[in-house]
Amino acid sequence: MAISYMTQEGYDKKMAELNRLENVERPDVVKAIQEAREKGDLSENAEYDAAKERQGMLEAKISELKNLVATARIIDQSKLQTDEVQLMNKVTIKNIKNNAKMTYTIVSETEADLKAGKISITTPIAKGLLGHKKGDVVDVKVPAGTMKFEIIDIGL
């Protein structure tokens, strides 16, 4: 089992989702199966089939979340450094070609959320920035080619 590194906030969100799935969604699915069963012949009961399929997907998601939180390691953010880019840093970069500035927080795959400015450590941009310092100009290989970024700031 792979270790999942995450913030306390990310861990709490996963635990809340697991709790919701187990205590809200699961009883709803069980109820839907029971109601479909009461309608008679199961061999031609589309509602029953749909409810059983929903149950299977729900149980798979619950299992996945349980494995994720079981292997989670909470990152102690007080021990993070900002002298070079690493996991959990908030990095402001400038695209050398068009001078566009972007700020991303580099997070584990399980916490990535581009809308919130959180990119996975496995993305080409994050991989290209790791280990570099403020002021460095970094060549990052992306699917569209190679891009040059200047690291403007590294924070927490």
Q: What is the pLDDT of residues 3-35, one digit of tens each?
A: 778 888 889 999 999 999 999 999 999 999 898
Q: What is the CATH number of the domain that holds 47?
A: 1.10.287.180
Cα gap 75→126, rounded to integer Å: 18
- How many other CB atoms are there within 10 angstroms of residue 105's CB atom? 20
What residues are paired with 101 via a beta bridge? 94
Q: Of 26, 47, 74, which marks where a domain is finished? A: 74
Q: Of 16, 39, 74, which marks where a domain is finished? A: 74
Domain holding 47, by residue range, is: 4-74
- How many other CB atoms are there within 10 angstroms of residue 22's CB atom? 14
What pLDDT was estimated at residue 109? Answer: 85
- pLDDT tens digits for range 115-146: 999 999 899 999 999 999 999 999 999 888 99
Cα gap 139→149, rounded to integer Å: 7
**Which candidate, 15, 21, 86, places its Cα nearest to that of 55?**
21
pTM across the whole model: 0.69
Average pLDDT, the chain: 90
* pLDDT higher than threshold 70 for residue 1: no
Count of domains observed in the chain: 2
Residue 118 structure tokens: 């959180």
Cα gap 120→133, rounded to integer Å: 19
Q: How many CA atoms lie within 13 A of 8 on its CB side?
A: 3
Cα gap 147→8, rounded to integer Å: 33
